[in-house]
Structure 1
């Protein structure tokens, strides 16, 4: 995947009619607006004093335009933030190599797996906290896995239009998972998710929440904006989840038809195909002046309550 130039003209909008209709109704997208917006974004990138290298192909820029419903100023702001956090947090967003031993082991353990079937057209990301070993890996590994897997999915135009559903099985979540995280890290990663990641987050479902997990989840939810907060659902059992998510699309272990391992094996084929283009994202470059960059000062702000330290200090009933 090059960083601009020649492949720009080759774009053809090829999605099923149902997605074309949704794009028009929900995102105000038609051929004219799309063409005009892409042109404006490319012009903005070319003139930006600090953006030195950036992808300018349509699938990449449409991530931002669709997330921001074709408001070019908001899409440009989100792109600038996206490039900036990649620089500010290389431990989370760079060198996303599916063949890195640690990352490959976490993927193979089945910690985060995109499901084969969609939820009302949305891509479903299924996570199992118990499949992430907190004694072996760090919070940076955890974020990196999410970054790698979402980068593999974000150029897909059906995902861009329909958005994402998250299903999180929190059984197996322990105090050891909590102690991986500092409060500052939790706050910063949530800021990255809501302000800089070009994804339409449609709903987030948590099941089998232990008393350990509830404290962390409640804290994290309190930092989200109201729109994202209203899209979070919690269940005491898998059966309760079926009221909102079609049982058939879930892994066999959760009442569906296809075993989680089989879904994972299919996804690993996609990761292999996408490996080079994901690693090439590191070629993009924005210069950051830490004194004037608003994102840097936002990220450095102390938490509202002046809370410090890690979740080890949270008392758990």
Structure 2
């Protein structure tokens, strides 16, 4: 289902209901008490499927059964006959609408608005003026950056489903709107490039099955990493509507966890985020605080696996990485940073920035988006608990991905590069760190 706007009476009725619910949430309402946050943050609606934790909660409410449910993947009708000739590129779109989207509320940084996320809502609804402005902004980005409109979206979805149906190399691929749109959007509605990314994504899952199989956040080691705050998404959104993915490598104990645990924690985070269509459109921002990170984080990886995951991750995973902020990077990590940069596109390289202090980071990103440990208003521990509610809501959906399979990779078009031709072998253990 795509975004629909409610009538004025329905909006007011829904807003009144949510206001009543918010009054019952003492743990979270304190973050709306300061003038800055109250003016810029939208209230958090809730439902019985994914309750918001309160002070009296002893543990999270978890979904039953680690086995993927049959109804986890919504079925999509394909009764409409596909065109005889499939278009290779669906880009016939209207020009972006003109007009300035004015900021109506100022926060600590005048260019940033904060919007609390609403992940536990099954449908998309915008129940107050602030959320409507954010929804309009997301829609504007879809038109301006992705060249998306209703006609193009429906035409490309129909053609992509027909291509999957006819492709003998693809088995049990999910074909609902949300799954297919993430590929179309990241490739800006180029049908051919979207088809290639689907093949590469399925191949990535197959080649790294030890990482992608059973993407369950309740896996003991992954759950420990999440509880420790190794990786999570802030519940606040920036002025572009983007989620902020925060990683703190110093909380990764290499005597307890290995490289597979690390990769799984990241993939579960990213897969959960792109289940939200807004995140598919606006992309995400990454922040990594590398202060205190152990050298053993590097040496636990083989060079070949690390290089392949970095390269394939950009080419095969349907996520828009809009900003990458790296804080307090030790000198010993500079080689790995340069090596990783050499494996990705120039566009992604240009989006990565390094900072020597929190003050420098606050100059480009509002601290209100961050945990209180980094100058924000909400403690990291509470951000983690909210993030786990999102993971719980999408758990069965992620587990259902195991049904998909690529029988052959013959349809993937490969391009040899100089780096690809190099013989990458060995381990980072051979490196000497000063």
- What secondary structure, in the 3-state scheme, does the structure 2 residue paired with 1:56 have? coil
Give the aligned partner of residue 23 of structure 1. 142
CA distance in 2, matches of 1:314, 1:8: 58
Give the aligned partner of residue 163 of structure 1. 283
Give the aligned partner of residue 59 of structure 1. 178
Give the aligned partner of residue 309 of structure 1. 426
CA distance in 1, matches of 2:79, 2:249: 40
TM-score (norm 1): 0.92
**Residue 298 to residue 51, structure 1, CA distance change in 2 (3 Å):** farther
Are residues 1:2 and 2:102 paired? no
Give the aligned partner of residue 197 of structure 1. 317
Paired residues of 1:3 and 1:54 also in contact (CA < 8 A): no
CA distance in 2, matches of 1:122, 1:207: 19
Are residues 1:99 and 2:218 paired? yes
- Structure 1 residue 131 displacement after superposition: 0.9
Residues 220-276 of structure 1: CA deviation (Å, up to 9, x unaligned) = 112111010000100111111112111111110011111111110001111111111
Unaligned runs of 5+ in 1: none
Give the aligned partner of residue 166 of structure 2. 47
Correspondences of 1:116-135 after superposition (within 5 Å): 116-119=235-238, 120-135=240-255
CA distance in 2, matches of 1:107, 1:65: 30
Give the aligned partner of residue 217 of structure 1. 337
Unaligned runs of 5+ in 2: 1-71, 81-122, 127-134
Aligned residue pair count: 312
Pick from 375, 379, 396: which aligns with 1:259? 379
CA distance in 2, matches of 1:2, 1:116: 25
Paired residues of 1:4 and 1:57 also in contact (CA < 8 A): yes
Indicate the structure with greater helix content.
1
Paired residues of 2:199 and 2:411 also in contact (CA < 8 A): no
CA distance in 1, matches of 2:356, 2:308: 29
Paired residues of 1:106 and 1:132 also in contact (CA < 8 A): yes
Paired residues of 1:65 and 1:75 also in contact (CA < 8 A): yes
CA distance in 1, matches of 2:302, 2:415: 18
CA distance in 1, matches of 2:342, 2:311: 12
- Structure 1 residue 188 displacement after superposition: 0.7
Q: Which has the larger radius of gyration?
A: 2
Pick from 406, 409, 418: which aligns with 1:286? 406
**Residue 24 to residue 296, structure 1, CA distance change in 2 (3 Å):** closer
- Structure 1 residue 284 displacement after superposition: 1.0
Are residues 1:188 and 2:188 paired? no
Pick from 54, 65, 84: which aligns with 2:203? 84
Residues 23-71 of structure 1: CA deviation (Å, up to 9, x unaligned) = 1111110100000010011011001111121111001111011101111
Give the aligned partner of residue 242 of structure 1. 362
Paired residues of 2:78 and 2:158 also in contact (CA < 8 A): no
Are residues 1:228 and 2:299 paired? no
- What secondary structure, in the 3-state scheme, does the structure 2 residue paired with 1:114 have? strand
Paired residues of 2:327 and 2:361 also in contact (CA < 8 A): yes
Paired residues of 2:285 and 2:323 also in contact (CA < 8 A): yes
Give the aligned partner of residue 157 of structure 2. 38
CA distance in 2, matches of 1:8, 1:125: 39
Give the aligned partner of residue 258 of structure 2. 138
Pick from 175, 183, 187: which aligns with 1:68? 187
CA distance in 2, matches of 1:7, 1:267: 34
